[in-house]
Each structure stands twice: as C-alpha cells, then as structure tokens.
Structure 1
Amino acid sequence: MDWNKVLKLAKEGTPPPAKKISKPDEDWRAQLTEEQYRVTRKSGTERPFTGEHCSSYENGDYACVCCKTPLFSSKIKFDSQSGWPSFTQPISDNAIKYHVDYSFGMERVETVCNCCDAHLGHVFPDGPPPTGLRYCINSAALELIKS
C-alpha cells in the first residue's frame, strides 16, 4: 500500500468485503458507548492524547469496535506524536474503505471500516518507511484483540 494506491481507492472504490454489516441506528446506539457512537457513526474525532490506545503497545490486532473486523496489527503501530493511534498499513487491502474528505476547508482521505462503514479516522502521506503512510485512527473506533 502506498499513497498513490490510497488515492486511487478513494476515487475508484475499495473492493467489497467478504461480509457487509448493516444495522439500524438504534442498534448501534445500544451496542456502543456514547463516545464510540459519536466517533464511528457520526464521523466524530476524539480529543488528541485521550484515547486508550494512543500510547498502548500491547501485542494483538486492532479490530473495528462496531463489527469486530480486524483492521490493523500492533506490529505496524508507531508513535506519530499526533495524539492518536497510528499505523503504517491496514491488516489487508480491503479492510479499509477510503473517501476524499473536504470537511473543515481541507482535503484529506477519510478511512472507514469496509464491513460496517464505521468512521475510523484519516490517512496521510507523512508516515515512516516502508509505506510512507500514517493511518491516524480514533481509539474509540478500535478494540484490541490481544494475542
């Protein structure tokens, strides 16, 4: 995965997942905490340096808090000093769906879970080698499945 591929997927679409999960809004509200719901279902952003996964480096896979789909491995997590958990690549090429995001007067690439459309965060082309990518993800959107 590299920035050119991310931009292509944002414009042309990510291949569909093996399973797609859809629930009524009231079911998401019942399943998630208020913060998880605000971030994942309403495209919110948690305050920097406040999320439980920001400075945690336990071994395992980070899954979508909504549908439990594995998204990122702890092996590629790094400290970007941005205040949010950061990763260099997703666990698989079709785990993440990408959208060009023009909110707040900026042009960014939003990341969402490809299985349930939960807002995760954004990806930027300022990460470390080998991908040069920084997936900046809200802790509230993630659940660590320890290995």
Structure 2
Amino acid sequence: MGKNLLFIALIILSGCKGISQEEKKEDKDTKEIAYAVSKTDAEWRAELTDMEYYVLRKAATENAFTSDLLDNKEKGTYVCAACATPLFRSENKFKSGTGWPSFDKEIEGNVAYDVDYKIGYPRTEEHCATCGGHLGHVFNDGPRETTGKRHCINGVALDFIPDSK
C-alpha cells in the first residue's frame, strides 16, 4: 500500500509544471537595442582590457574583493569603463560587505535594467544606458534609511573621476 501511494505521488509530482517548461522571456541577447555608443565586437575587444571586455560585453562577474574601487572613499563620480557615461556618485556608495562596490542610487537615466535568468531565477541586471555594457545587478537589500536598493556593481566596469578634476 505504501509503495503504491509513493508511486502515485511521484507520478503526480512529475506532471507538475516547473519553470523549465515555461516559455523563455526575450532577453537582451535575443533582441537588438540601439545604443548611442555602438561598436563591433572587435572594436570593443581592442579598446577594453580582457576583464573589462568579459564583464562589460559578455556579462561576466569579477571575483569578489578584487576591485581597486571597492574601498575607494574619495568624492567623485563612477563612470562606465567602456564609454565614460556617469553612472554613480560617491555619496551613494556604501560598504555592503559583498565584495563588490555597492551603491544605493544610480544617476537617473544613465543606468538601464533588464531581467536575467542565468542562474535559474529572475534577477534585475543593470547595464549602461549609453553603450549597453553589463554593470551588475540590483537587489532590495540595501540601506533602509535611503532607497533600500543595493546596486552590486563589478568594479572593473567602472572608472572613477575625482571631484577635484
């Protein structure tokens, strides 16, 4: 009797609809977006370092705690390493403990968002609104006293311009 119930339960569960059966949503790899700064893959590869290329153009992730910008406390602007679009201000940077530069607010209009399903569930991906370069992801576990957002950004995707310049 117990084996029959187990067998029936397995049949019922195997028939349940899982996320693997859902139709994939269109993502930025399947639709063409026209960016103000648009270059061929060869041009990006020639202009960017290997790591910048893989993060910005192939949506890779740098290793945690490796960015020179992680502990930067200077006042200034963080810009896209590919096209120099201003993305984040230093006053919006905070120490998240995650190993990547984190900000609670972006410079409005310069960061665009998409959904990625690369690890099996939806995450909000951030990319430069000017060139489409992958920056990182945004989460809802940032400082509650400000926006509640944590923009978790690959440091290699950023350059820093101090206010003194």
TM-score, length-normalised on structure 1? 0.85
> Displacement of 1:81 after TM fit?
0.2
Residue aligning to 1:28: 44
How do 1:46-125 residues align onto structure 2 when only pairs under 5 Å count? 46-92=62-108, 94-125=109-140
Larger Rg: 2
Runs ≥4 residues deviating over 6 A: none
Aligned letter for 1:71? Answer: L
1:39 is matched with 55
Query: What residue is the counterpart of 1:13 in the other structure?
Result: none
| TM-score with structure 2 setting the length | 0.76
Secondary structure of the 1:104 match is: coil
State the distance in 2 between where 1:83 and 1:114 align.
24
For 1:33 and 1:101, locate their aligned partners in 2 and report how far apart those are by CA, in whole Å: 24
In structure 2, the gaps of 5 or more residues are: 1-34
Q: What's the offset of the Cα at 1:57?
A: 1.4
For residue 55 of structure 1, report the CA deviation from its aligned partner.
1.4
The one-letter amino acid paired with 2:58 is K
- Report the number of matched residues: 128
User: Helix, strand or coil: the match of 1:42?
Assistant: coil
Q: Percent identity?
A: 48
What does the per-residue CA deviation read over 1:12-38, in whole Å, with 9 as the maximum and x for residues that have no partner?
xxxxxxx71101111111111000000
